[in-house]
Chain A
Amino acid sequence: MRPWAALAAATLALLGCRQEMTRQRRLNTFSATTIWRDGTTARPLPEGVVARGDLARDAIAATPPPVDAALLARGQERYAITCLPCHGAAGDGDGMIVRRGFPRPPSYHNAELLAAPARHLYDVISQGHGVMFSYASRVAPSDRWAITAYVRALQLSRHATLADAPEAAERLP
């Protein structure tokens, strides 16, 4: 009879448990409270707080890096990864995603974007524009400048003059 007695004792001991671990004195997320004056448990960030690395990113965003072959090559690579699926290899806005029915982005070769300052292109990558969402979390600030420079190269490839590329004279039809 000893095992039965042990089982009975254990059952009685379990019945005596109180569910204190699941019922705690705490504030639930987004619930109302009277502890703080704004009446919510969600705490705003203290004034002046920035995310780690924000100041460095802002500094890169403020000053475009000098354009050289390495930056343009980096921009070409990043453009092919991030932008080409919608904007197309030449920037006409006819990438594969567009062919499948996504709204067509404007061509880089229209007058408006040819006249747009580089800061505008940078800001569109950072914040999005129209149906394009923000690429801030996918493209680092230095890469945004690289892509901006490469977009200028794409524009120049359709907007060059004989003064820019004198070797073209003998290759033109």
Chain B
Amino acid sequence: MDEDLNEIREPGHVRVGAVLGVGLGTILFLAATLGLLPVYIRWMAVPPNAPPQPERFPPPRLEADPTAELRALRAEQAAQLEGYAWVDRERGLLRIPVARAMEILAARGQAAYAPLEAPSP
């Protein structure tokens, strides 16, 4: 069988320049990266590595005792429906119990639906 004399063979010598170039280039690249990284960090305003500071966050908005809260709200709102007080003394406006207001409206008959104030222009 004939040998193919044109086949491509590995050259007998090493290209020292290319090997050294790749090695030195890598070192140069690393050095340049390390040197420029602080500049880059300062330029991007990235804070330096520091452990995160503890911060306070608001407590969870949970109803720990819904029954008691509803009872408190009902008591508070039931109190709003009772008692006499001045709302606007200059205009002569009063706060009266709702039960009394219902009596007054029942006496007014159909006029009870009428608005309590004239519409503002």
Contact = CB atoms under 8 A, between A and B. Distances in A.
The answer to whether A and B interact is yes
A153 B63 CA distance: 33
**Interface residue range, chain B:** 35 or more
Nearest to B92: A161
A2 interface: no
Contacts of A71: 106
B102 A159 contact: no
A94 to B, nearest CB: 8
Nearest to B87: A158
A168 B95 CA distance: 9
B115 A114 contact: yes
A67 B110 contact: yes
**Most chain B beta-carbon contacts within 10 A, residue among A67, A68, A154:** A67
Interface string A55-72: 000000000101111011
Interface residues of A, number: 43
A90 B81 contact: yes
Interface string B10-22: 0000000000000
Given A67-B105, A72-B106, A90-B80, A115 B74 contact: no
A168 B84 contact: yes
A116 interface: yes
A114 B70 contact: no
The winner among B94, B98, B103 for most chain A CB atoms within 10 A is B94
B73 interface: yes
A38 B117 CA distance: 52
A88, A159, A161: most-surrounded residue (chain B CB, <10 A)? A159
Interface in B49-85: 63, 69-70, 73-74, 77-78, 80-81, 84-85
Contacts of A159: 87, 93, 116-117
Contact of A89 (B81, B84, B94, B114): B81
